[in-house]
Amino acid sequence: MSIINNINKVFDHRIRLGIMSILMVNEYADFNTLKELLGATDGNLASHTKALEKAEYITVEKQFIGRKPNTRYTTTKLGRIEFNKHIDALEKLINNQ
């Protein structure tokens, strides 16, 4: 049962898993980069980043580049730990079958 417990409900969506994957290997990513890489719509991506932010797995930083608003996302320490646990659990599930 412990394996099942490590499957994190917060990550149980393609887009959320995608956001975390990108942020794990990059210092940060902005909204448009995520949108392009994931092929998601504005509203869809915004709702998923909000969910990850609420779980405190990512932090959001809003700033201006020139006059354009720019939103940057970064993983938190908690987010990295939980993501690694989730991946381990996925791998174990696959190997056990």
Partner 1 sequence: MESKDYLKDLGEIKQLMNKSSRFISLSGLSGILAGFYAIIGAAVAYWLVISYSNGTLILDSKIFRLVLLDLILIAVLSIITAVILTTRKAKKHGEKIWDNTSKRLVINFLIPLLAGGFYILIILNQQKYGQTGALMLIFYGLALINASKYSIGNIRYLGIIEIILGLICALFPGYGFWLWVLGFGIMHIIYGTWMHFKYDNN
Interacting residues with partner 1 (CB under 8 A): 12, 14, 17-18, 21-22, 24-26, 29, 33, 37-38, 87, 90-91, 93-94, 97
Question: How far is residue 25 from each of residues 12, 41, 64, 69, measured CA to CA in Å?
Answer: 20, 22, 24, 24
Which one, of 89, 91, 88, 86, lies nearest residue 75 by Cα?
Answer: 86
Q: Which is nearer to partner 1, 14 or 54 (CB)?
A: 14
